[in-house]
Chains A and B, each alone.
Chain A
Amino acid sequence: MTDITLGQFIPGNSCIHRLDPRTKIVLMLVYIVMVFLVKSLILFSVPLAYVLLCLWLGQISFSYFGKAIKPIRFLLVFMFLLNLFITPGEKTLFSWRFIKITEEGLLQAVFISLRLILLVTGASIMTLTTSPIALTDGLERMLSPLKVFKFPAHELAMMMTIALRFIPTLMEEADKIRKAQMARGADFESGNIIARAKAMIPILIPLFVSAFRRADELAMAMESRCYHGGEGRTKLHQLKLGRGDLAAVLVTMAFLALILLVQGFFPGLI
């Protein structure tokens, strides 16, 4: 379980860590747009350079690049093969009976794989350098203009914070229940898929019961301390945009502009 990089946070004090969470969320969206704008193989080096720059500035080991890709490796292979075989095209590179690989198909498959890799690694940089609390704080602030339309921005952020907070607790609880049932001779490792799914029932039911109990107790504890939603609530940590945020936006815009310029005005270069 410790190998999952997406959503993991590495505490630190680099210039990327210190950025306002709102900046990071917006820049990640810009980055995603950037990845989808790229229409040539060579230009994929631009978002790649951007990711590597962020990793370096965030003082994150480059090995995280590989770790981020590991959980999606099967999806990557699947997407690659799917696009390789089903994309229609003119120039046939290889054909055998009903299997046909075209140049367009190969190119499409490579594009899709590169995009997936870049998207996952880019998105994990944001979660690697932003604590979940800061992330939900940023989201709350960004969504708060929608409160005019009765959008529950604060409640949504609070729900996310609580959910994140309880993931380790519930994992620990699940482990404890699993051990208790194993002590009663439960077997989670043998049998076919249906038998294994059935074997999970003695874990899942107590886990749900305890999750509901915890939710109930937490709600009670919050209410007894007069929690009544976000209205009139102030924050201990005020979010402030600084010079670093401006610099980050400018750098990102420069990368985006590079792609647009090259693709728009100098298509001959690529």
Chain B
Amino acid sequence: MPIVIDHLCHTYFDGATSNPVLKDISLEIREGEFLSIIGHTGCGKTTLVQHLNGLLLPTSGKVLVDGLDTADKKLRPAIRTLVGMVFQYPEYQLFADTVREDVGFGPKNMKLSEEVIALRVSEAMAMVGLSMDKFGEKSPFELSGGEKRRAALAGILAMRPKYLVLDEPMAGLDPQGRQSILAMLEKLRQDTGCSIIMVSHSMEDVARHADRILVMDHGEVKYLDTPKSVFSHSEELAGMGLSLPAPCRVAALLRKQGVDAPGDICTRDDLEAYLLRRLKA
């Protein structure tokens, strides 16, 4: 069953002023898909993803996770087990004495037995590439920035979410760190079949990994489609303050020079394949 968002509106009330952040959003997040959410700063991406596990509640409308309504307080623990949420800079949530304990915090809150917790912790740490022997008994505050991020990620993975929500998981990492997180997410999806919902500002990563892209603008859904068709609206995207992935821009420049590059190039692989074909011909 999918996550169904039905006519969701959310308004922040700040004393006398009210600020509508989400305006009538309806969409469905499918099982096992990689959905990317893009949009300029302040368009409501973070507010939207916080509705997926009931951290924020709709002002009007509904969010159903596998048929469970997030507004129902009794269902919330179940919903938070289904939907794992990785916040921006998740390393700032580490608190326990050892990495092992910190990763086990989520499973422990799920009231699992000690053996199951131990199993899930070692599994999650292996998934993010932190060896139990080397890091298990270390204090999370002794780790490097990238290791902290991976430890925090393991803390969510240990809950085995069916939907994994990530809010800019690669912010502040070097290119190598970004690639390793993305590769890890891909592998996770293949192994467990979970859905990944990722907010990102990197158009290249989005074009390459996402099945579908959700484009938000001023609290509304502008596009929800495959990368190829979303990035074909180059002018509209530019109007929203969004850039195109670099391969798309290269193809557009080629077209301007009179080369008949097709409009559906949006990843490096697409561009490479096209250029090789052209050079051979």
A: residues with CB less than 8 A from B are 2, 173, 176-177, 179-187, 201-203, 205-206, 209-210
Q: Which residues of B34-93 have CB atoms within 8 Å of chain A's CB atoms?
A: 50, 53, 55, 77, 80-81, 84-85, 87, 90, 92-93
Q: How long is the Cα–Cα vector from A157 to B92 in the complex, in angstroms?
A: 30
A183-B92 in contact (CB<8A): no
B105-113, B177-185, B233-241, B269-277 - interface stretch: B105-113
Report which residue of B92, B141, B155 has the largest number of chain A beta carbons within 10 angstroms of its beta carbon.
B92
Judged by DSSP, the binding face of A is helix
B155-A184 in contact (CB<8A): yes
Given A180-B90, A202-B95; 16 other pairs, CB 8 A cutoff: A176-B87, A176-B92, A179-B87, A180-B87, A180-B93, A181-B105, A182-B55, A183-B84, A184-B156, A185-B81, A185-B159, A187-B77, A201-B95, A202-B93, A206-B93, A209-B141
| Chain B residues closer than 8 Å to A177, beta-carbon distance | 92-93
Residue of B nearest to A199 (CB): B109
B15 interface residue, CB < 8 Å from A? yes
Q: How long is the Cα–Cα vector from A179 to B85 in the complex, in angstroms?
A: 10
Total contacts A-B at CB 8 Å: 59
B92-A184 in contact (CB<8A): no
Residue of A nearest to B55 (CB): A179
Q: How long is the Cα–Cα vector from A182 to B92 in the complex, in angstroms?
A: 14
B109-A210 in contact (CB<8A): no
Contacts A179-B55, A209-B141 hold; do A185 and B92 have CB atoms under 8 A apart?
no
A182-B80 in contact (CB<8A): yes
B99 interface residue, CB < 8 Å from A? no
B15-A2 in contact (CB<8A): yes
A183-B55 in contact (CB<8A): yes
Contacts A180-B90, A184-B156, A187-B109 hold; do A205 and B95 have CB atoms under 8 A apart?
yes
